[in-house]
Amino acid sequence: MTASKAFHPPTRILMGPGPSNVEERVLRAMSAQVVGYFDPSLLEAMGEIHRLLNATFETENRATFPVSGTGTSGMEAALINLIEPGEKVLIGYNGFFGDRMHQIVERCGGVPIRIEEEWGKPIRPEQVQEALKKDTGIKIVALVHAETSTGVLQPLEDLREIVDRYGALLLVDAVTSLAAHPVGVDQHGIDVCYAATQKALNAPPGLAPVTFSERAIEKTRNRRRKVQSYYLDIALFEQYWGTNRFYHHTPPVSLYYALLEALRIVEEEGLEARFERHRLNHLALIAGLEAMGLEMLVEPPYRLWTLNTVKVPEGVDEATIRGRLLQEFGIDIGGGLGTLKGRVWRVGLMGMNSTPNNVLLFLTALERILLSEGVPCGPGIAAADEIYRKPFQGGSRV
């Protein structure tokens, strides 16, 4: 009998759309021995996870906890708990994940109504208002705050006032923005928000933090029929995470350990400092790329700090460049999805991966590979370094 070979994954610098590299502290935390799901020590840890998630979401919601599953489980839990058959849902469709929302709404018997916008552009508040005015009875407005497929940051200002005018709930996907961009759940009046652990939180994939406002919880309680999924029923999750402990499923205890440590790292750095770090490294990367002669897909006001979409130069095989970055430098970046397939590179700067070292290494590696492939490009390091050299003014670099 031949024993199987031990698996040893290679060391990579994960600068794609996710996952991102996991903090060493987080890896050590998740290697601790598991305990039972009602063990007092685990319940104490869950209390801390709740507190720290609320701080990161910037909310005081009582119903805030991680759903056991990847980011898509958070999306599905958010939607299927709120939607009953026949209810209308307004979806911002300006990227791959708006389309995924559409599919989930259809699967649970809802009626998806799309606000369509070009991939690479945000949904405008007036588009939301026009759609709500045109189609009466819309129950939910669903938008992607950080569209991972395009690198677009969706403005959330003014949406609550518009949504309130038509009596709808506001649902926001913050998978690629939580812990790197201000999400401001309470500030923006978001009723349901979900994220994932493998992006700017630098924990392994497998949990999807969600937060529900009291208004959203009330809607789930007043459903005419049960949620179609037992596993993703938020009412059952809420009982397990509340004071009246109720067995729902065996939680991924090791992933809870990991998330707790990742959230502790966020708290130690401070949200404002973390936001500024992501903004600064994003600006340095853009300055370097543009100095090389490359173009960005998204206009400056709507660019994500965590995910940068770079247009592939005419005549360049984008997969070849990505392959060489991985093989020669151990740098993993993403290609385009959907209508952007073959047209963009997606370069992530999330959490611990958002550093000057990674920015400068990536620019050096990309310049070297492009030149060797016969693609004309200028030097990018000096332009990026200029961003880092600018003085602070009013809490941020000018």
Tell whether domain 24-268 is in CATH 3.40.640.10. yes
pTM comes to 0.95
Whether the per-residue pLDDT at 176 is higher than 80: the answer is yes
Segment 118-131 mean pLDDT: 97
Q: How do the domains of the chain map onto residue ranges? A: 24-268, 271-397
Burial group, residue 344, by CB count within 10 angstroms (0-12, 13-18, 19+) = buried
Bridge partners of 303? 152
331 vs 321: CA distance, rounded Å: 11
Segment 371-385 mean pLDDT: 96
Domains 24-268 and 271-397 share a fold: no
Q: Is residue 122 a contact partner of residue 154, using CB atoms and an 8 Å limit? A: yes
248 vs 243: CA distance, rounded Å: 14
Segment 367-386 mean pLDDT: 96
Q: Is residue 183 a contact partner of residue 58, using CB atoms and an 8 Å limit? A: yes
As assigned by CATH, the class of the 271-397 domain is alpha beta
Q: What pLDDT is stored for residue 392 in this prediction?
A: 55
Chain centroid, CA 71 distance in Å: 8
Token couple for 255: 């992933």
Token couple for 234: 């938020």
Q: Is residue 38 a contact partner of residue 48, using CB atoms and an 8 Å limit? A: no
Give the pLDDT confidence of 310-339 residue by residue, as tens digits: 999 999 999 999 999 999 999 999 999 999
